[in-house]
Chains A and B, each alone.
Chain A
Amino acid sequence: GQQVMQIPQYQHVQEGEDFTTYCNSSTTLSNIQWYKQRPGGHPVFLIQLVKSGEVKKQKRLTFQFGEAKKNSSLHITATQTTDVGTYFCAYNTDKLIFGTGTRLQVFP
């Protein structure tokens, strides 16, 4: 399957700052999922988006699916040290294909 690119690869922020990771595909996706992997842990499902232009919120996290369904973003407002980890987007056909990931480091 095609690879989905994420930017940035790494992001270091001060606690309280906002953070955004972007997920880009060259082709239209039927859905996008987001996962968080804490250091030393395994990926944990956060959310799934399926509709063009869809926006979903989970507390300080806002997820968006682009109008063309080729890109997605995850925005964290006022980061906390508990947000540290790698955030992956992924798309699901009959199998789950992961994006390249963005590693977030939060300094207190």
Chain B
Amino acid sequence: SAVISQKPSRDICQRGTSLTIQCQVDSQVTMMFWYRQQPGQSLTLIATANQGSEATYESGFVIDKFPISRPNLTFSTLTVSNMSPEDSSIYLCSVDLAGTNYGYTFGSGTRLTVV
């Protein structure tokens, strides 16, 4: 299975600012996925990041709020822009090594608190 390094692990940010979260994978993957997990809730897919093309966003998420970069097959960033307290969540990146039957592998998550 893949190993994902995600950082920062946590941050406390002022409202109105932006935070960029990074994920590095130890192998090349076509798609990387970004999830949000609000306190006590399940995981909700924000977007799929494809190398060489724009990210595909799920309903309720827009590029202006959550811009994503995917410069190569092992790295992606998610920015949470113009933050408000409602953005306080855990953000996780994930990859699926298709055909390995190991399921999706997740980064350790970024716990974001907006004050």
Which residues from 77 to 107 on chain B have a C-beta closer than 8 Å to any C-beta of chain A?
A: 92, 94, 96, 101-107
With A42-B92, A42-B107 in contact, do A88 and B102 touch (Cβ < 8 Å)? no
- Between B1, B96, B107, the greatest number of chain A beta carbons within 10 A of the residue's beta carbon is seen for B96
A59 adjacent to chain B (CB < 8 Å): no
Give the secondary structure class of A's interface: strand
Q: Contact at B33–A43, with CB atoms within 8 Å? A: no
Contact of A96 among B1, B41, B96 (CB under 8 A): B96
Q: Contact at B42–A45, with CB atoms within 8 Å? A: no
Give the secondary structure class of B's interface: strand
B residues contacting the other copy or chain, number (CB 8 A): 21
Q: Contact at B43–A88, with CB atoms within 8 Å? A: yes
A59–B73 CA distance with the chains assembled, in angstroms:
36
- Tell me, rounded to whole Å, the shortest Cβ–Cβ distance linking B52 to chain A: 17
Q: Contact at A96–B42, with CB atoms within 8 Å? A: no
Q: Contact at B43–A92, with CB atoms within 8 Å? A: no
Q: Contact at B42–A98, with CB atoms within 8 Å? A: yes
Q: Contact at A45–B103, with CB atoms within 8 Å? A: yes
Query: B90 — nearest CB in chain A belongs to which residue?
Result: A42
With A88-B43, A95-B48, A96-B94 in contact, do A42 and B108 touch (Cβ < 8 Å)? yes
